[in-house]
Amino acid sequence: MANCNVAIGRLSAIGIGKEVTPGVPVEPTAWIPVESGEVTPIIKTVEDTSGYGIIDKIADVMTVENTSETAVSGIIRSESIGHILMATLGIASAPKEVETGVYEHKFSRKNDNCPITYTITEDTPAGAKQAPYSVIDSLDIEGKVGDYVRFTVKYIGGQIITVTDKNPTYLQENVFVAAGMSVKMANTVADIATAPKVRAQSFKFTVTKGAESIMALGSTNVDAIHNTVLEIKGDMELVYDSDTMMQRVIDWSKQAISVLMETGEKIGATKKASLEVTFPRVALSEWKKSGDMDKIVTQTVGFTGTYDIATAASVIMTLVNKTKKQY
């Protein structure tokens, strides 16, 4: 008889829960719809190659590190993305009601090396497992014409534990598509509001936290995980209709960039769900144009996020949704 625990990948579910004490597992407080998601054990071993008077090379193998990695990607949705933004930056404001039943959440970076830790749960027909002490190493967000706006997030974590099967439950959420995405660029953040939209075909960025596992004598599991430095890199593709962007790169121009994503449906009387990512000060650092002889020529402009003294930030994320609780 066939094993009824055999199943297709879409029957797997990924849940996330913010830990009270780092490394002490908690139940998921949110289940995140994903296009791919996997909690993977990372095992480091050492080999005993001592000579025993025989030609066999390996006498024994011992595990010296037993940790985990989690990779999750999917479409950005109005409510669940807040958990990932919180895990990435570390500070979430108290929700502000901007309209009846509609709340604004501001996320900013926590200025230390002690990250917020999470328990990641993967529930499958074959069984459920958790990766406690999970810390975000990087977050990618990308939107391109004719598609959804997507995220990819990578965690490193502690040793995986098996747990009882869960009962995933999901929220009805609004999704973001590139048709509701706009990019603005200006000399300063104050000028963003009145700046014209940039005619971008795609926009993507990566926030890297440089997460590092700390191991200690007496255990194969992590002793602690700390983030190191926060770095931001990104690029956007535009039609090549002038040399303005190229000249800005040559001049190492510093600009403010705002990326606004809105859903098509209203979630209140007038408000739509939205996610705005603001980079108060970036250096335009790379430029190249496409070379296809039979297609419209485009240009790709790369940027590096820098710290802005005026706003005390290199990135600020503002999420508007129906979630009343603080992330």
Mapping DSSP to helix (H, G, I), strand (E, B) and coil, where does residue 67 land? Answer: strand
Task: Count other Cβ atoms within 10 Å, centred on residue 147.
Answer: 13
Q: Which residues lie below 8 Å from residue 221, measured CB to CB, with a gap of 6+?
A: 66, 67, 158, 159
Q: Is residue 218, in this structure, part of any structural domain at all?
A: yes
Range of the domain at 92: 11-43+61-162+170-321
Half-sphere exposure of 15 (CA within 13 A, CB side): 24
Q: Is residue 51, in this structure, part of any structural domain at all?
A: no
Q: Which residue has the higher pLDDT, 4 or 49?
A: 49
What is the model's pLDDT at position 2? Answer: 57
Instruction: Residue 128: name the closest of 234, 262, 11, 245 by CA.
Output: 11
Q: Which residue has the higher pLDDT, 291 or 25?
A: 25
Residue 294 corresponds to which tokens in the numbers above? 């039979």
**Total tally of structural domains belonging to the chain:** 1
Q: Which helix (H) or strand (E) holds 72?
A: strand 60-75
Taking a C-beta distance cutoff of 8 angstroms, is the pair 258, 192 a contact? yes
As a whole number, the mean pLDDT across the chain is 96
Taking a C-beta distance cutoff of 8 angstroms, is the pair 28, 16 a contact? yes
Torsion of CA 36, 116, 31, 120, to 10 degrees: 60
Residue with tokens 């025989």: 54
Q: Is residue 326, in this structure, part of any structural domain at all?
A: no
Q: Is residue 53, in this structure, part of any structural domain at all?
A: no
Task: Count other Cβ atoms within 10 Å, centred on residue 100.
Answer: 8
What is the model's pLDDT at position 292? Answer: 87
What is the model's pLDDT at position 5? Answer: 74
pLDDT at residue 30 above 80? Answer: yes
Predicted confidence (pLDDT) per residue in 272-306, tens digit: 999 999 999 999 999 999 988 999 999 999 999 99
Q: Is residue 178, in this structure, part of any structural domain at all?
A: yes
Q: Is residue 234, in this structure, part of any structural domain at all?
A: yes
